[in-house]
Amino acid sequence: MKNKFIIILIVILISAVILFLGLKTRENNNTVLVQYGKISQVVAATGKIEGVNQAELSAKITGRIKSILVKEGDIVKASQPLVLLDSEELDAQVKESETVFSQAERNWKRAKNLYEDGIISKKEYEDSEDEYKRSKASLEYLKANLSNTVIRAPFSGTIVKKYKEEGEVISNLGPPETILLLADISKIKAKVEVDESDIGKLKIGQTAYVTTDTYPAERFYGKTTKIGMMVGKKLIKSNDPKEIMDKKVLETEIELNPTGRLTLGMTVDAKIIIIEKEKTLIAPKKAVQQDENGDFIYVLNNGKREKRRIKTGEKDDVHVEIIEGVKEGDRMVVK
């Protein structure tokens, strides 16, 4: 009987020790030290490399391509002729229209003198003037079409892609048919798609960088220069098989620092830096509480909890920057 009592007593003592150690461990697990760390938050996106100045060159009129004067990789200057369309028929129409216009102009001037001398009526004069104006407008229209048989470079750059060949007929009806892609490759940008849940974090001028499978160890930095005005469906597909293609995204542009390593059309992963602060006092978000007077935390002071008012700064997904109220080494109580 005595031995049984001793065994029960030992079991109770062991249980008490385990309970004490468990509570102690739990108490330690529910406190963290205030320390210096990093506040960091980025928005991830997928996109493609384009030229800052980039243009798809197409014809303003329907016609047959007579000659393409450049090839892919050629460097061209602004206003340089790039493509010639067949102009033989338009040349003939312009010459005929010039003859009609010259005759209408002579008739109008003669009618004006006759009207001023009272020989013809006002209506006869106005009819002559109308014919002169119609012939002039027709001539100007045909001359404009003739000038459009020459497609010129709108700015200096490089011929990146040729889509059509000599002899093909192109139409100005419906969507434009691209003949050449011209880009200023000295300035490039990443046009990326940002998930609509992250739109509120974006600002013009934020630092960003892109990476690519071609150069996996390198980051190519730049800044956000344009944020779209309307969300739409995702168009650029990444290598992630779990990617949801019908989610809503906002097109955003990142102008990249000059580099000769990225190629137009290359797919990139982008990181837009929303917050980045090195060596600042931080606390877990779950340690910070609020009441009607603002933010506060509980700290251990001589083993007792003490409510401490704090001033917070930046936040990321896990941590909060503490500007005032605590110092490095203070032990916070975490909920």
Domain membership flag for residue 25: no
What pTM did the predictor assign?
0.65
Could you tell me which of 205, 154, 182, 151 has the C-alpha nearest to residue 264?
182
CB 183 within 8 A of CB 157: yes
CB 65 within 8 A of CB 167: yes
Residues 270 and 189 in one domain: yes
d(C-alpha 126, C-alpha 111), whole Å:
9
Residues 234 and 144 in one domain: no
266-280: burial string, b at 16+ Cβ within 10 Å, e else: bbbbbbbbbbeeeee
Q: What is the pLDDT of residue 301?
A: 83
Q: What is the pLDDT of residue 53?
A: 92
Domain membership flag for residue 18: no
Residues 207 and 138 in one domain: no
Which residue(s) pair with 268 in the sheet? 47
Sign, Cα dihedral of 189, 191, 192, 198: positive
Task: Divide the 335 residues of the chain into consecutive groups of 10 and give the mean pLDDT of each group.
Answer: 51 47 47 86 92 93 96 95 96 96 95 91 93 96 96 95 95 91 92 92 95 92 94 74 72 92 91 90 87 88 86 86 86 83
Last residue of a domain, one of 275, 295, 327: 275
Residues 235 and 208 in one domain: yes
Residues 113 and 230 in one domain: no
Could you tell me which of 290, 35, 281 has the C-alpha nearest to residue 298?
290
Q: What is the per-residue DSSP string for 114-182?
A: HHHTTSS-HHHHHHHHHHHHHHHHHHHHHHHHHHTTEEE-SSSEEEEEE---TT-EE-SSSS----EEE
Domain membership flag for residue 101: yes
Domain membership flag for residue 4: no
d(C-alpha 253, C-alpha 295), whole Å:
37
Q: What is the pLDDT of residue 242?
A: 58
Domain membership flag for residue 17: no
Residues 97 and 118 in one domain: yes
Residues 189 and 264 in one domain: yes
Q: Could you tell me the CATH number of the domain that includes residue 224? A: 2.40.30.170
Domain membership flag for residue 317: no
Q: Which residues constitute the domain of residue 169?
A: 59-84+152-184
Number of structural domains found in the chain: 3
Which residue(s) pair with 249 in the sheet? 195, 232
List CB contacts of 91: < 8 A, sequence separation 6 or more. 146
Residues 168 and 226 in one domain: no
Residues 156 and 142 in one domain: no
Q: Could you tell me the CATH number of the domain that includes residue 95? A: 1.10.287.470
d(C-alpha 307, C-alpha 321), whole Å:
18
d(C-alpha 38, C-alpha 280), whole Å:
6
Q: What is the pLDDT of residue 108?
A: 95
Domain membership flag for residue 315: no
